[in-house]
């Protein structure tokens, strides 16, 4: 796999670089509530600018349905990127249409532009290889070189992640390289004891990674909304807590197979509503009252989980322990995070909501060995799945290209 350093050694002055970034940040209207993913790609953008390249940044945001949707515009992201870089960043109001072509054509040495949300174009996520390939060709025509620094998207077989890499000389950005190195340490010969902490809402989202990791780790701690399906598998009533009834039997099998490795909460914080001013109680897991919702692990569980983490040499954490966005249900996530911070070993926060929780709770990011930008990609890697974006960077040889005259859009997103 060719790296960003390889590209910089070759020289990129006067060349256009198509940079696939992961700028999928949370928005409250047009306000960015966590700019961590924008900050994560800054070193790559700066390195390319300093080397004299003009940088065309592309990304997705949210899940629009292949058509423009103002709720998911990257305009606020482009503005924030400009603020962080300290330079103007041009913004194209479409992906491959008139605005994109004019914006790219107007770039000079070390200029930066952001194109509109890739998922506004049906070609980005199409399962039809021809449609996806046509969109990839339009994107590739904007540049001489492709750099993928969007680890959070490498598990997607999307045009900007997979197909473009076959059309341009392609390189892995520093962020992608770092993520792969970290995950390689977790799947190679991690120092033991190796403890994994999994949370989040649905056990169905984590089932494959639980099955893959349970035989390979020393302890697997389960919290968050997903724990209630496991508790139900033990015969406990869970009130109105999140429950995936069709997963109960599978959870029972996992508990039977990996008894002693998988550990569940001993107490939980329950409430009569998912609000900041709800009535709350802390109860043992066998005493969740009917009509109440479990929304966080309890203090006894935090103590128990912290004891398991205390002697660990390797820790992977993915998923909050409760609804950390609301103060009454943040203590579990904070307590577990603080226990991980104290570990004398290699600690990895597996992206997504876990990374957001670290920042939202005001915890020092440098207290963890690594904070991933790609929750889903991290989990699929740990499951042993092949990641299409990584495969493309490892095997692709360019077959296309010219930046001189981008083709007229054949899968236009209809804006600009």
Q: Enumerate the active-site residues.
A: 37, 202, 352, 376
CB 409 within 8 A of CB 120: no
Give the alpha-carbon dihedral of 322, 326, 332, 333, to 10 degrees.
Answer: 80
The sign one gets for the Cα dihedral 243, 245, 247, 253 is positive
Element of type H or E holding 31: strand 31-32
> In whole angstroms, what is the distance from residue 224 CA to residue 239 CA?
15
Q: In the numeric block, which tokens belong to residue 139? A: 């994107």
Query: Alpha carbon of 324 to those of 21, 187, 226: distances in Å?
Result: 27, 29, 15
> In whole angstroms, what is the distance from residue 301 CA to residue 194 CA?
19
> In whole angstroms, what is the distance from residue 243 CA to residue 202 CA?
8
CB 145 within 8 A of CB 169: yes
> In whole angstroms, what is the distance from residue 398 CA to residue 51 CA?
22
Cα atoms in the Cβ-side hemisphere of radius 13 Å centred on 3: 11
The sign one gets for the Cα dihedral 30, 31, 32, 33 is negative
Q: In the numeric block, which tokens belong to residue 317? A: 């954490």
Backbone angles phi, psi at 38, to 5 degrees: -70, -45
Q: What is the arrangement of strands in the sheet containing 219-222, beginning at the earlier edge strand?
A: 262-263, 219-222, 194-198, 314-318, 346-349, 370-371
The sign one gets for the Cα dihedral 114, 411, 131, 67 is positive
């Amino acid at each position: 796999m060719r790296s960003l350093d390889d590209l910089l050694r070759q020289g990129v002055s006067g060349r256009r670089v198509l940079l696939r970034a992961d700028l999928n940040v949370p928005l409250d209207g047009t306000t960015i509530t966590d700019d961590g993913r924008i900050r994560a790609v800054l070193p790559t953008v700066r390195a390319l600018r300093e080397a004299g390249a003009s940088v065309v940044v592309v990304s997705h945001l949210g899940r629009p349905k292949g058509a423009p949707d103002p709720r998911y515009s990257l305009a606020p992201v482009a503005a924030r990127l400009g603020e962080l870089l300290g330079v103007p960043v041009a913004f194209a109001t479409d992906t491959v249409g008139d605005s994109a072509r004019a914006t790219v054509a107007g770039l000079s040495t070390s200029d930066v532009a952001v194109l509109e949300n890739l998922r506004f174009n049906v070609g980005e996520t199409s399962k039809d290889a021809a449609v996806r390939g046509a969109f990839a060709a339009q994107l590739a025509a904007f540049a001489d070189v492709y750099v993928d620094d969007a680890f959070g998207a490498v598990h997607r077989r999307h045009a900007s992640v997979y197909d473009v890499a076959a059309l341009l000389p392609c390189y892995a950005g520093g962020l992608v390289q770092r993520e792969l190195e970290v995950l390689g340490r977790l799947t190679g010969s991690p120092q033991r004891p190796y403890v994994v902490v999994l949370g989040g809402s649905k056990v169905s989202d984590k089932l494959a990674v639980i099955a893959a990791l349970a035989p390979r780790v020393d302890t697997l701690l389960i919290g968050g909304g997903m724990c209630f399906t496991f508790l139900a598998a033990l015969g406990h009533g869970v009130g109105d807590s999140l429950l995936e009834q069709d997963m109960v039997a599978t959870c029972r099998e996992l508990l039977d197979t990996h008894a002693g490795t998988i550990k569940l909460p001993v107490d939980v914080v329950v409430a009569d509503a998912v609000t900041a001013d709800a009535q709350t109680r802390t109860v043992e897991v066998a005493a969740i009252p009917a009509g109440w919702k479990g929304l966080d692990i309890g203090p006894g569980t935090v103590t128990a989980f912290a004891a398991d983490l205390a002697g660990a040499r390797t820790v992977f954490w993915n998923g909050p322990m409760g609804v950390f966005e609301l103060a009454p249900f943040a203590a579990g996530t904070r307590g577990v995070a603080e226990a991980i911070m104290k570990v004398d070993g290699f600690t990895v926060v597996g992206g997504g909501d876990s990374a957001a929780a670290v920042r939202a709770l005001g915890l020092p990011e440098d207290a963890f060995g690594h904070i991933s930008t790609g929750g889903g990609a991290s989990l699929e890697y740990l499951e042993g799945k092949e990641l299409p974006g990584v495969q493309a960077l490892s095997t692709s040889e360019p077959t296309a290209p010219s930046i001189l005259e981008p083709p007229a859009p054949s899968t236009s997103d209809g804006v600009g």
